[in-house]
Amino acid sequence: MQEGYIGSVDDAVLDYFPEYEFANMDERKEAITLHHILSMSSGLDWEGYFDSPDLQSLLDSPDWTQCTLDRPMEYEPGKVFNYNSGGTQLLSAIIQRETPSTTEAYAREKLFEPIGISNYTWSFGRSPKGITPGAWGLFLTVRDMARIGYLYLNEGCWDGKQVVPQDWVRRSTSVQIADAKLHAKLNVDSRLNFDYGYQWWVPKQYPNYTYAARGWYGDHYAFINVIPGLNTVIVFAGGKPDDDAVEQIVDALEE
């Protein structure tokens, strides 16, 4: 948006794919904006967890954009959080359409290189249409995960250079949609419940105090936890812990 490739978060998602004809069209689907995709509140019918049948259908599809936006609507956009990896893939498709290169190349030039990240892999290949995976497949060292956390801790500034706009850091880590969980119909019993920003998780107990990036692959988990109130970044990765890893951080914060 800062560079003029994308208008605003209020842009209609379908406007970025004018040559497509999508199934299950209605006024709700036409109303989906980038804000709704960024905040996982598109309203599309989707089971969002990593090994879900909907995600497998996307991976098996010859066109991931078509597969995602062919889904029927279940909710009004902006009303209900529902984790949707297909939506994040749409963000990559839009970046790749609107910028001069691939999403991976754009990320390398604009984000990774400026903050010193070079030792990474973007696994699982591109989509059948050649689009960089947007919702999975990025493998980083723990130190480089911490670089991303440190960049956000400093509101997008790195060595005196504004790499990510300060306003975007604040917007993306502020609550954009309440009651975030892997699927809208799941009842998750956890001492720590989340709201959601723009692709960042915001703990309900600590809004405006801490936020997190949470990733996993099989039984392996990775977390970036930014705590501006303590000028602290906590990063860890490894096998699935016996207890909820995020709750361990809450214990530390409460102490």
Q: Coil, strand or helix: which one is 129? A: coil
Distance CA 21, CA 14 (A): 10
Q: Are residues 68 and 163 in the same domain?
A: no
C-beta of residue 246 within 8 angstroms of C-beta of residue 214: yes
- Residue 192 is classified by DSSP as S
Q: Which domain holds residue 65?
A: 13-96
* Domain end residue (candidates: 43, 70, 96): 96
Residue 37 corresponds to which tokens in the numbers above? Answer: 């995709």
Looking at the domain assignment, is residue 126 inside a domain? no
Residue type for 104, please?
Answer: E
* Domain end residue (candidates: 77, 96, 115): 96
∠ CA 214-157-180, rounded to 5°? 25
Looking at the domain assignment, is residue 136 inside a domain? no
pLDDT (tens digit per residue) in 204-218: 877 668 899 988 766
Distance CA 79, CA 76 (A): 6
Query: The domain spanning residue 235 has which CATH number?
Result: 3.40.710.10
Q: Are residues 54 and 145 in the same domain?
A: no
Q: What is the number of domains present in the chain?
A: 2
pLDDT (tens digit per residue) in 93-128: 999 999 998 999 999 999 999 999 999 988 766 789
Looking at the domain assignment, is residue 204 inside a domain? yes
* Domain end residue (candidates: 65, 96, 127): 96
Looking at the domain assignment, is residue 45 inside a domain? yes
pLDDT (tens digit per residue) in 22-32: 999 999 999 99
DSSP 44-100: B----STT-HHHHHHHHSS-HHHHHHTSPB-S-TTTS----HHHHHHHHHHHHHHSS
Looking at the domain assignment, is residue 201 inside a domain? yes
Beta bridge partner(s), residue 139: 121
Distance (Å) of CA 143 to CA 55, 149, 155, 200, 240: 30, 10, 19, 19, 19
Looking at the domain assignment, is residue 228 inside a domain? yes
Q: Are residues 244 and 149 in the same domain?
A: yes
- Taking alpha carbons only, the member of 131, 149, 152 closest to residue 140 is 149
Q: Are residues 145 and 210 in the same domain?
A: yes
Looking at the domain assignment, is residue 106 inside a domain? no
pLDDT (tens digit per residue) in 40-90: 999 999 986 666 788 888 889 999 999 999 999 999 999 999 999 999 999
Looking at the domain assignment, is residue 135 inside a domain? no
